[in-house]
């Protein structure tokens, strides 16, 4: 059986929180069949954000990104399920919302890249790194989803 325990890190950025889209975003992942195993609202400090976005440190938008992400609360989440990383990215839509299809989170709720509502891990290894950065091991809740037999063969 395929790995139904794959995990991804999804963060609702300050624009998504401020606009009251947290519930809508969670709903999309739940409706798809993914299992929420961790969630918290945080106001991340600069050090945490610099570590999170260290792969973008050389980009011209890096300083503005860190400042923006530090401007308000973020809802950090871990979702689990079959191909959670790649499907999570599809649910979010393209990084540039104008390239996102209708029906995706970014395609439905935003217009500009600098305010694209969510961050999603782009690979399994980056998901593992991001989850470990944002959550302590004991914050990841192990539980059995009662609908799993209706979601997975």
State yes or no: 13 annotated in a binding site.
yes
Instruction: Give the pLDDT of residue 3.
Output: 75
Torsion region of 150: left, alpha or beta (phi above 0 gives left; psi -120 to 50 gives alpha): alpha
- Alpha helix (H) residue ranges in 53-109: 62-69, 84-92, 105-109
Catalytic residues: 119
Instruction: Give the pLDDT of residue 93.
Output: 98
Cα–Cα nearest to 120, from 76, 98, 88: 88
Structural domain 10-143, CATH architecture: 2-Layer Sandwich (3.30)
What is the chain's Cα-based Rg? 15
State yes or no: 40 annotated in a binding site.
no
Instruction: Give the pLDDT of residue 1.
Output: 46
How far, in Å, CA of 152 to CA of 66, rounded?
38
Instruction: Give the pLDDT of residue 2.
Output: 61
Cα–Cα nearest to 78, from 15, 139, 13: 139
Tokens 């470990």, residue located: 132
State yes or no: 8 annotated in a binding site.
no
Domain ranges of the chain: 10-143
Cα–Cα nearest to 26, from 82, 99, 92: 92
**Cβ pair 40, 75 in contact under 8 A:** yes
Which residues in the chain come in under a pLDDT of 70?
A: 1-2
């Amino acid at each position: 059986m395929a790995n139904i325990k794959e995990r991804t890190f999804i963060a609702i950025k300050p624009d998504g929180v401020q606009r009251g889209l947290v519930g809508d975003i969670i709903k999309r992942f739940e409706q798809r069949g993914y299992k929420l195993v961790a969630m918290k609202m945080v106001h991340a400090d600069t050090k945490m954000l610099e570590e999170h976005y260290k792969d973008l440190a050389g980009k011209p938008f890096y300083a503005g990104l860190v400042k923006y992400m530090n401007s308000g609360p973020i809802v950090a989440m871990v979702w689990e399920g079959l191909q959670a990383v790649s499907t999570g990215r599809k649910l979010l839509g393209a990084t540039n919302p104008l390239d996102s299809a209708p029906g995706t989170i970014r395609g439905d709720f935003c217009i500009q890249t600098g305010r694209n509502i969510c961050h999603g891990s782009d690979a399994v290894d980056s998901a593992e790194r991001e989850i470990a950065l944002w959550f302590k091991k004991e914050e990841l809740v192990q539980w059995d989803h009662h609908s799993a037999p209706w979601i997975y063969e």
